[in-house]
């Protein structure tokens, strides 16, 4: 593409493509140069965390993830710090979100939904046994590995035991409204375990129905439905599944079924295999050191930059696909869009950038360009603030480029709408091949 970009090394890890980003962090693919093993590294900017007084919350998130060692929870291996950044080394999960599976294929069959629900309950039950409550359980936070094993992620809203007040309850309202238990919404304190189980019940309903049990465009109407547990199961649910879901989605936490009772339920136990794993002793010494401002310079990691052409190697190309299935790399022009999407083009990189800018500006987006990366920022605020889209052009082979559009902020449904609108203006640059379209 006529330019070079620095490939960054941090300690023994070589950093690759950005796989996600938020207000305070980026997640990048990484490779251990000593073993060749692949990881994900979450990179936090210390200055931003201090400015927004997020240090304690982020340290809590990291501490939470370090404490959890379970086959159905994303594992955190180590924490490092430089003068300006904190690096969290995580298990790399390549199978995509469980949410994407439903968005692409619709509802799951009852046996498949039960399999994922069993893994979810295993993970949540273990977290609770370690005094950790997730508080934002939803399909988007449930990932799948290459073998289809469920992994719970995103402990940004989790609560450790020290956050429980003298009454034994949590008092922070958080989470995603459609999945939140009624007692969390009324600000009177709640049992974190019972609240997490409610969210698990909503997830089970979504897996089997393909839609939410509580959904209203008006927030107050949504809350009313949640407070009354005003929902009905579709006719294809089995009788035993309906009974279990109604016991979980009981608006009264005192009479709501417990996780221990769920595990003993006949519907739940069908084909159930409890996970077997070794319990490890975990220390938070590296977490404390990473957040220690008086740390000796010799203990800080240093970023080393190596200049090389901007091309995608096989590792990066494969890591972009779900479950290492290369067929899912290239989407149809108007195919299903999640929180990121890609297309290929045989046009020049400069032509691609110009065409995206030309198509985005009439849709009300400000464009910031940095070489072959772009940031599209919506002028109007949507349901979750301004829609922000990160765009990057990558060389896959000579005269063949991959273009990635990824939601960096805002609402996923608004991103869907944006992609649908901008697609019309990009038809001329999208490379179409019969084989790929036929596979899709």
pLDDT in tens, 397-420: 777 888 888 888 888 878 888 888
- 136 included as an active-site residue: yes
d(C-alpha 38, C-alpha 256), whole Å: 42
Beta bridge partners of 366: 377
377 has pLDDT over 60: yes
Annotate 67-105 with three-state secondary structure.
HCCCCCECCEEEEEECCCEEEEEEECCCCCEHHHHHHHH
Which pTM value belongs to this model? 0.63
72-107 tens-digit pLDDT: 998 888 888 888 888 989 888 888 888 888 888 889
d(C-alpha 393, C-alpha 11), whole Å: 28
Predicted confidence band of residue 50 (pLDDT cuts 50, 70, 90): confident
d(C-alpha 390, C-alpha 393), whole Å: 10
- Numbered ranges of CATH 3.30.200.20 in the chain: 9-91
Q: What is the CATH number of domain 96-264?
A: 1.10.510.10
- Numbered ranges of CATH 3.30.310.80 in the chain: 307-330+337-429
Beta bridge partners of 9: 14, 304
53 has pLDDT over 90: no
Per-residue confidence (pLDDT) for residue 130, from 0 to 100 = 78
Per-residue confidence (pLDDT) for residue 5, from 0 to 100 = 53
Among 109-123, 298-312, 346-360, name the one with the lowest average pLDDT.
298-312
Q: Which of 115, 69, 92 is nearest to 320 (CA)?
A: 92
343 has pLDDT over 80: yes
Q: Are 126 and 133 in contact (CB under 8 A)?
A: no
Q: What are the distances in angstroms from CA 395 to CA 169, 331, 348, 376, 402?
A: 53, 17, 10, 21, 6
Q: What is the CATH number of domain 9-91?
A: 3.30.200.20
Tokens 């005269």 belong to 399
Predicted confidence band of residue 213 (pLDDT cuts 50, 70, 90): very high
Predicted confidence band of residue 306 (pLDDT cuts 50, 70, 90): low
d(C-alpha 196, C-alpha 201), whole Å: 9
Q: Are 136 and 174 in contact (CB under 8 A)?
A: yes
Q: What are the distances in angstroms from CA 21 to CA 95, 200, 238, 339?
A: 18, 26, 40, 11
Helix H or strand E segment including 51: helix 46-51
325 has pLDDT over 50: no
227 has pLDDT over 50: yes
Per-residue confidence (pLDDT) for residue 78, from 0 to 100 = 87
**Mean of the pLDDT values across residues 264-269?**
95
∠ CA 235-241-246, nearest 5°, is: 90
Chain centroid to CA 415: how far?
16
Among 88-97, 111-120, 127-136, name the one with the lowest average pLDDT.
127-136
One-character DSSP codes across 335-396? ----SEEEEEE-S-HHHHHHHHHHHHGGGTEEEEEETTEEEEEEEEEEBTEEEEEEEEEEEE
Q: Which of 136, 191, 196, 250 is catalytic?
A: 136
Tokens 């605020």 belong to 381
Fold for the domain defined by 307-330+337-429 = TATA-Binding Protein (3.30.310)
């Amino acid at each position: 593409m006529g330019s070079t970009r620095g490939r960054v090394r941090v300690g023994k890890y070589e950093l690759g493509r950005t796989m996600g980003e938020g207000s305070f962090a980026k997640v990048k693919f990484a490779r251990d140069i000593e073993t060749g093993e692949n990881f994900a590294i979450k990179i936090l900017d210390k200055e931003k965390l201090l400015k927004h007084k997020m240090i304690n919350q982020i340290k809590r998130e990291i501490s939470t993830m370090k404490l959890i060692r379970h086959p159905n929870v994303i594992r955190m291996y180590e924490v490092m710090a430089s003068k300006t950044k904190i690096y969290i080394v995580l298990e790399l999960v390549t199978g995509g979100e469980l949410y994407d599976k439903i968005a692409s294929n619709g509802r799951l069959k009852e046996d498949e939904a039960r399999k994922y629900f069993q893994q979810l309950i295993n993970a949540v039950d273990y977290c609770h046994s370690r005094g950790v409550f997730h508080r934002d359980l939803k399909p988007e936070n449930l990932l799948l590995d290459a073998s289809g094993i469920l992994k719970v992620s995103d402990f940004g809203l989790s609560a450790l035991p020290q956050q429980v007040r003298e009454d034994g309850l949590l008092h922070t309202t958080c989470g995603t409204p459609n999945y939140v238990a009624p007692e969390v919404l009324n600000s009177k304190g709640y049992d974190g375990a019972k609240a997490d189980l409610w969210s698990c019940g909503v997830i089970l309903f979504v897996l089997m129905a393909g839609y939410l049990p509580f959904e209203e465009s008006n927030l107050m109407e949504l809350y009313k439905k949640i407070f009354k547990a005003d929902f009905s199961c579709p006719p294809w649910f089995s009788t035993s599944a309906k009974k279990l879901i109604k016991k979980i989605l009981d608006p009264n936490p005192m009479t709501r079924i417990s996780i221990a009772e769920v595990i003993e339920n006949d519907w739940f136990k069908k084909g159930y295999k409890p996970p077997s794993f070794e319990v490890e002793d975990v220390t938070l010494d590296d977490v404390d050191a990473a957040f220690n401002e008086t740390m000796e310079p010799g203990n800080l990691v240093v970023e080393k930059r190596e200049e090389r052409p901007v091309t995608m190697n096989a590792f990066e190309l494969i890591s972009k696909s779900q479950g290492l299935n290369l067929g899912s790399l290239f989407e149809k022009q108007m195919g299903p869009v999640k929180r990121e999407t890609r297309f290929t083009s045989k046009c020049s990189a400069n032509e691609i950038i110009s065409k995206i800018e030309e198509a985005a500006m009439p849709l009300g987006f400000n464009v910031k360009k940095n070489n072959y990366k772009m940031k599209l920022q919506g002028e109007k605020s949507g349901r979750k603030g301004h829609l922000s889209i990160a765009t990057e052009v990558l060389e896959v082979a000579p005269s063949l480029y991959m273009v990635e559009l990824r939601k960096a902020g805002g609402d996923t449904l608004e991103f869907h709408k944006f992609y649908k609108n901008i697609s019309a203006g990009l038809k001329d640059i999208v490379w179409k091949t019969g084989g790929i379209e036929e596979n899709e």
